[in-house]
Amino acid sequence: MEKKDIDWSSLGFGYVKTDKRYVSWFKNGAWDDGALVEDDTITMSECAGVLQYAQTIFEGLKAYTTEDGHIVCFRPDLNAERLEQSAARLEMPVFPKDRFIDAVVKTVEANEAYVPPYGSGATLYIRPYMFGYNPVIGVKPADEYQFRVFTTPVGPYFKGGAKPITIKVSDFDRAAPHGTGHIKAGLNYAMSLHAIVTAHKEGFDENMYLDPGTRTKVEETGGANFLFITKDNKVVTPKSDSILPSITRRSLMYVAEKYLGLTVEHREVYFDELKDFAECGLCGTAAVISPVGKIVNHGEEICLPSGMDDMGPITKKLYDTLTGIQMGRMEAPEGWIKVIK
Ligand SMILES: *Cc1c(COP(=O)(O)O)cnc(C)c1O
C-alpha cells in the first residue's frame, strides 16, 4: 500500500479529507447494512433534528502503526459502549457494538494510505458519530438517524516535547447536576466554547471546571479528565456523575496499578487539596497525558512542584507505559489492541 505524500511530522490537529467514510442509516426502526462511500458531504432537511435540537453524539479514537508494522486501534469496544450510553441518554437508537467495531475497521482499511508510519508521532484520528436526520419541529427525538465514521490524519500532539500548561478555574460550568456531562455529545462542547475562548484570551491553555452543584470539587476540562499524583506517589483521579469517563484515564488507572504497582484512588477531589499534589496531568485520546504546571483561580496560583519545564516523573512513567503498550513496544493487557491489518 502506497502511503499518501504527506509530511506527517508537520500535520496539526485539523481536518484532512480522506478517501472513504462509513455510513449506516436508521429508518423504520432498524439500521441498514451500512457501506463505505466517497461523498464527504451530507444533505439533509433544514429542519433535521440535529440542526434544530442538537441531537448528536460522537466518539474519538486513533489508528496508528505499531513498531512491528501492524495497523491497530486501542480499545474500540469501550468507544462502542460509551456511544451506546450517549445514545440512551439522548433517546437515540443503539448502534450495535460489533457493528461499531466493524465500521471502524472498514473505514481505517479503506483509508490505509493515510495511516501515518511508526515513529512519526502522527496518527489517523477516527471520528464515529450519530445524529438525528429527519425533520423535527415539535420537540421530540428524531425517527431517522445516520451513524457515520470518518478519519483524518493528525500530527504529533506535542511538537518538541510535552511542555506543562497553565489552566484557569473557569467561572462557567460545563455540566449541570444530573445533566449530560457524562456523555460524549456535541451539546457539552457547544456550551464550552465561550469558556475556552475566554480562557485563551486571558492567556490560559485550558479550563478546570468545578462540580456544578457546590463548586468545591474538581471535575474535568472541556475535553480531558484530570489525574493527580500525591507527594507519596499515589495516583488520584476525580469521581463524579458529571465527568465523561475517559478511556485513556481508565487505562492509565489500570497501568498505574498493574504495571507500575502504584496505589490508585478514584474519588471526589476537593479544590482545596490541589496545593498538596505533586503532579497534575490531563488525559484523553489526543495527547494521552498533557502535564499541567500551574492552576490559577482568580489570581491565586497553585504551582505544581513538578514545575513548568517537564512532565512530572510519575506522569512520565504513566505516559511512557501506556504509549509503549499502544505502540506495541510493551505487552498489552488482553483485548486492548485491535489489530486492523
Ligand atoms: C472525549 C472526552 C474525554 C477523553 O476521553 P478519552 O476516551 O480518553 O479520549 C474527556 N472529557 C471529555 C468531556 C470528553 O469529551
Looking from the CA of residue 225, the nearest atom of ligand 1 is 10
Quote the pTM value.
0.97
Nearest CA to ligand 1 atom 12: 223
C-alpha 45 – ligand 1 centre gap (Å): 30
Q: Which of these, 197, 279, 211, 265, lies nearest to 241 by C-alpha position?
A: 211
pLDDT of residue 160: 67
The pLDDT of 40-57, averaged and rounded, is 98
Q: Which of these, 250, 29, 42, lies nearest to 129 by C-alpha position?
A: 42
The verdict on whether 338 is a catalytic residue reads no
pLDDT digit string (tens) for 180-235? Answer: 999 999 999 999 999 999 999 999 999 999 999 999 999 999 999 999 999 999 99
Query: How far apart (Å, rounded) are the C-alpha atoms in residues 283 and 247?
Result: 9
**Is-contact 15 77, C-beta < 8 A?**
no
Pocket test for ligand 1, best of 126, 154, 244, 252 (most atoms within 8 A of CB): 244
Query: How far apart (Å, rounded) are the C-alpha atoms in residues 74 and 323?
Result: 10
The CATH code belonging to domain 165-326 is 3.20.10.10
C-alpha 186 – ligand 1 centre gap (Å): 12
Q: Which helix (H) or strand (E) holds 186?
A: helix 186-190
Domain spans in the chain, listed from the N-terminal domain onward: 8-154, 165-326
pLDDT of residue 157: 79
**Is-contact 242 212, C-beta < 8 A?**
yes
Ligand 1 binding site (Cβ under 6 Å of any ligand atom): 60, 184, 220, 223-225, 244, 246-249, 283-285
pLDDT of residue 9: 86
pLDDT digit string (tens) for 292-341? Answer: 999 999 999 999 999 999 999 999 999 999 999 999 999 999 999 999 99
Fold of 8-154: D-amino Acid Aminotransferase; Chain A, domain 1 (3.30.470)
Nearest CA to ligand 1 atom 14: 223
